[in-house]
Structure 1
Amino acid sequence: MKGRKQRAQEAKARPRLPIGRALFGLIALIGIGVAARLILVDDPMGGRPSQEVGIVDNKAANPVADTAATGPVTITADPQQYAANGSEGAAPLVAGSPASTGATPDASGIVPDLSEETANGPIPRMSGTGETPYAAYRHPFDAASVGNGPRVALIVTGLGINEQGSLDAIGQLPDFVTLAFAPYGKGLANTVAAARNGGHEVMLEVPLEPFDFPQSDPGPHTLLTGEAPRENLDKLFWLMARFGGYFGVINNMGARFTASAGDFGPIMEELGARGIGYIDDGSSNRSVSEQLAHANKVPFARANLLIDANPARTSILSALASLETEALENGSAIGIVSALPISIQAISEWSASLDGKGIALVPASALMQ
């Protein structure tokens, strides 16, 4: 066998190939060729196949974009919706403003100009011309038709939760009876439409915090004392979007809330800005609703009597007699009635006897200031 020293001498004696130099030379030749092509051949696409195709735009032109392409654009905000001082708001309420003769209701009886789209659905608002939902949706009552004698109004509350029961009540009641709907029924669109088609003016019931809340709970989205005004307004907007076509709202419970000017004030201010009326159900002597309504130019009335506090026929008839006495002594009176079948039947029969007593049954809005 060969020794280690002999093998090393033989390996040293073998010739070596210049592989590194050959590769370097090849790369250099390729680079020179590419550079020469770029310099000598005017083809930025590198020889890729190409074809020109005419493109025709069939879409309608955008006039704003076209104008912007040729010059500056000035967009002017509606001064009725955006005040000059930069704050968003509505025109001041003029209570009892006449309905616009040019306003055309849609298929559901809602005037588009009196509707504002929100995340929860459309809610009523004052139009840019100053027309109010109060003026547009109240009963078109002719005061001259009943003379100057005493007047009574009835507001039936709690409608809309039981759809069939509500439809039965609507069919029995005189059209001058005002109907208030709770915001929770599944068939509200149907029952409210039936009420308005039957000649009734409608109201929205708004749940407000009572003193013993939550033991007494008027329902979801109840407006609460101590909450930020924005939170209560968000709840109010949700409630207002349940249905449309109402001229005003009425409280459901709320003795604690209506006694707190700090909490109730922003709500009444919003009603005034939107042109919506408010009726106090008269259940709390501590309510500051009347002062707040006057301060915010909100059409207002306060009910005098709860007719069916005792839901028995004799008690209901006795309360209706007391309502008559109130009207005879003071010129007018408003009664609150729940949508119980016995109450509906009693007031339907009672209303037929009023003409002989010289007392006129009128819509609740006719007694609002």
Structure 2
Amino acid sequence: MANDLSTPLTGRKRKPGERKPRGFPLARVLLGLIALILGGFVARLALVDDPDGGRPTDEVAITSTRNANSLASDVANGPVTITADPQQYPAGQVPAAAPAPGADRYAALPDLSEETANGPIPRISATGETPFATYATPPETPIVAGQHTIAIIVTGLGINEQGSLDAIDQLPAAVTLAFAPYGKTLQSTVSSARADGHEILLEVPLEPFDYPQNDPGPQTLLTGEPPRANLDKLFWLMARFGGYVGLINNMGARFTASAADFSPMMEELGARGLGYIDDGSSNRSLAPQLAAGNKVPYSRADLVIDTNPAREPILAALGSLEAKAQQNGSAIGIVSALPISIQSVAEWSRALQSKGITLVPVSALMQ
């Protein structure tokens, strides 16, 4: 008879009367625990009248003295009238709104502004007034025949706030100031310039031949783009601040030589009553023809004063500008906002009248 210990487990048969071994009754224990928990929960609900389970509570009246939505309150109390955009009214039929406390009286005039998605941009008023004529600074004395005149334009202002304010303080009011469209304090610096009597231009970045290696800045108007895309950029630039008589190019030799790309921009300036100054950097610019065709007040700069940014070269260049004015009757010079350039122009301007030459805002020399 074989030994039971040597018999394989899988083949082992149970002896007569031998009982099958039992495992641990886990399922019955779990069912019992669940039943016990449910019974305790039901008993608590039935015997304890405390739906919050004993958590501390308090009652506070919800009240408010602040009217967060006055329009909603007005609607709740009765019919209201919502005024439409004043631009939809004919001229003269909308009462002027009272100026806000501390309102800037040198800001753009509402009648000469059109609201866009980027902010207000200049336009001709309903009565035919143009931004060029309205914002132009007249010469201190009327220009007479035979009088020699010079206009100086300072470019690159607005990015450095303190440098811009220093230029405004140091320069005579007849100097025209051109502001780049990227400064964070443009509204205040432009207002300071206008309050001091300066005439204002907006610098607009246009595509040069070596773009993008030479990049005039964000929102540059480019050749080959749809006219609508360039006009959208132009409107963004024009909305940076108000009160300017016109635009002056920043670079743009390629753009100003392309009639297909430059024409829509010049048409827009003519339709909005703005002037245009060509900085004179490109002989291929079509600005004279396009300005004449769109009745845009226009002129071209004769000389960049501070190509060599040092006092003596700057004064020498200003002397050359005087010679041009005496020869041609007038001349326009452009200078950057470098401190040495500002100081040199301020020094030079003090003796200009004694030479028989009058310093005038650039609008006085624009056709």
Which interval holds the TM-score relative to the shorter structure? 0.7 to 0.9
- Rounded to whole Å, the distance in 1 between the matches of 2:77 and 2:348 is 72
- Give the partner amino acid of 1:343: S
- Cα drift, residue 129 of structure 1: 1.1
Say which of 277, 280, 292 aligns to 1:279. 277
Amino acid aligned to 2:121: I
* C-alpha distance in structure 2 between counterparts of 1:254 and 1:79, whole Å: 39
Pick one of 104, 107, 115 that aligns with 2:104: 107
Q: Which amino acid aligns with 1:261?
A: A
Where structure 1 has 5 or more consecutive residues not aligned to the other structure, the ranges are 1-55, 65-76, 81-101
Q: In the TM superposition, what is the alpha-carbon distance from 1:312 to its structure 2 partner?
A: 1.3
**2:174 touches 2:198 (CA, 8 Å); kept in 1?**
yes
Counterpart-to-counterpart distance in 1, 2:82 and 2:165: 49
Q: Measure, in 1, the Cα distance between the counterparts of 2:82 and 2:273.
A: 37
Query: Among the aligned pairs, what percent are the same residue?
Result: 69
Paired letter, 2:248: I
For residues 276 and 348 of structure 2, the distance between their equivalents in structure 1, rounded to whole angstroms, comes to 26
2:129 paired residue number: 131
Q: 2:320 aligns with which of 322, 340, 347?
A: 322
TM-superposition CA deviations, 1:25-68 (whole Å, max 9, x none)? xxxxxxxxxxxxxxxxxxxxxxxxxxxxxxx973246899xxxx
1:225-236 aligned at under 5 Å gives the runs 225-236=223-234
Give 1:325 deviation, angstroms. Answer: 0.3
Query: Corresponding residue for 2:249?
Result: 251
The 5 A counterparts of 1:194-213 are 194-213=192-211
CA contact (8 A) 1:146 1:360 kept: no
Distance 1:61 1:212, change over 3 A: closer
- TM-score, structure 2 length as denominator? 0.73
Report SS of the residue matched to 1:123.
Answer: strand
Deviations 1:266-302 (A, max 9, x none): 0000000000000000000000001000000000000
Q: TM-score, normalised by structure 1?
A: 0.72
Aligned residue runs from structure 1 range 280-299, under 5 A: 280-299=278-297
How far off is 1:167 after superposition?
A: 0.4
Change (3 A) 1:336 1:130: same
SS at match of 2:269: helix
The alpha carbon displacement at 1:356 in A equals 1.1
Counterpart-to-counterpart distance in 1, 2:139 and 2:82: 48
Aligned equivalents of 2:177, 2:236: Cα separation in 1: 20
**CA offsets, 1:111-156, max 9 Å, x none?**
1000011100111111111110001101033552677411000000
The CA distance in 2 between the partners of 1:282 and 1:264, in whole Å, is: 16
- Give 3-state SS (helix, strand or coil) of 1:144's partner: coil
Residue 348 of structure 1 deviates from its aligned partner by 0.2
Distance 1:242 1:301, change over 3 A: same
After superposition, what is the alpha-carbon deviation per residue over 1:193-248, rounded to whole angstroms, capped at 9, x for unaligned?
Answer: 11000000100000000000011000000000000000000000000000000010
Secondary structure class of the residue paired with 1:336: strand
1:59 equivalent in structure 2? 79
Does structure 1 residue 159 correspond to structure 2 residue 157?
Answer: yes
Alpha-carbon contact 1:179-1:201 (below 8 Å) kept: yes
SS at match of 1:168: helix
* Residue aligning to 1:122: 120
Tell me which of 185, 188, 200 is aligned to 1:187: 185
Residues of 2 paired with 1:145 and 1:261: CA distance?
35
Distance in 2 (CA, whole Å) between partners of 1:146 and 1:113 is: 32
- More deviation, 307-316/140-149: 140-149
- d(CA) in 2 for partners of 1:62 and 1:328? 61
How many residue pairs get matched? 280
User: Which blocks of at least 5 consecutive residues in structure 2 are unaligned?
Assistant: 1-75
Name the SS of the counterpart of 1:216 in structure 2.
coil
Q: Compared with structure 1, are the counterparts of its residues 148 and 219 closer, same or farther at alpha carbon in structure 2 (3 Å cutoff)? A: same
What residue is the counterpart of 2:352 in the other structure? 354
Q: What residue is the counterpart of 1:237 in the other structure?
A: 235
Structure 1 residues 291 and 143, CA, compared in 2 at 3 Å: closer, same or farther? farther
Please give the root-mean-square deviation of Cα atoms over the aligned residues, in Å.
2.2
